[in-house]
Amino acid sequence: DVKVTQSSRYLVKRTGEKVFLECVQDMDHENMFWYRQDPGLGLRLIYFSYDVKMKEKGDIPEGYSVSREKKERFSLILESASTNQTSMYLCASSLGRSLSNQPQHFGDGTRLSIL
Amino acid sequence: LAKTTQPISMDSYEGQEVNITCSHNNIATNDYITWYQQFPSQGPRFIIQGYKTKVTNEVASLFIPADRKSSTLSLPRVSLSDTAVYYCLVGFSGGYNKLIFGAGTRLAVHP
């Protein structure tokens, strides 16, 4: 069974801090994704990566960056955290080149609060 | 504008069939429709995926009309444990595969 592990379930940081959210998958998947989930808005794609060192912006990349130095690990970085980045962050992975034709496997999320 | 629309909430009773419809007018030609289930404090979990007509697995069916502008997730004989939020995910053309989740349908199953 695919396992996607996010390093923290809950995180509290202060405005202006640089924040790192880590995600690891154990199934050698090519694609990895970062979403944020907010009430009434569903899941919105921040960034995705289809290979090591490759990344593409999603719908809401502003204020975020990502890093994928190894195939199994995908990091989301908040360069200077702001209160409007308080949210649930979900990492996912999927197999193969096509982004929509393979099921995504999700971690259980990191609830991030920016004070 | 690429958009995926689904009802905000639905109520049902144990043993009934539940149908949740998702509208996606601008779906890309080669992209699939995928449904996920999410329980509180967990990430979404894959339920079913389809391209056209009908797909059935051990937990659900997915109906997709010929024009593919909508899709319907069908849950047969729901139980209390089916109470969850259900999301549809669709790909849209937009320079790269543009993935759009619906805002989710909160299904409440009552005894």
β-partners of residue A19 are: A78
CA atoms of A103 and A85, how far apart (whole Å): 27
pLDDT value for B30: 79
pLDDT tens string for chain A (115 positions)?
669 999 999 999 999 999 999 999 999 999 999 999 998 888 999 999 988 989 999 889 999 999 999 999 999 999 999 999 999 999 999 987 777 788 999 999 999 999 9
**Among B3, B32, B47, B99, the residue to mutate for chain A (most A Cβ within 10 A):** B99
Closest-CA distance of chain B to residue A58, Å? 8
pLDDT value for B29: 81
pLDDT value for B93: 62
Residue ranges in chain B modelled with pLDDT below 70? 1-2, 93-97
Which ranges of chain B would DSSP assign to H, the alpha helix?
none
Burial of B50 (0-12, 13-18, 19+ CB in 10 A): buried
| Among A56, A59, A106, beta carbon nearest to B44 | A106
Tell me how far apart the terminal alpha carbons of chain A are, to the nearest angstrom. Answer: 37
Chain A residues within 8 A of B44 when measuring between CB atoms: 43, 90, 104, 106
Q: Are B4 and B24 a contacting pair, CB within 8 Å?
A: yes
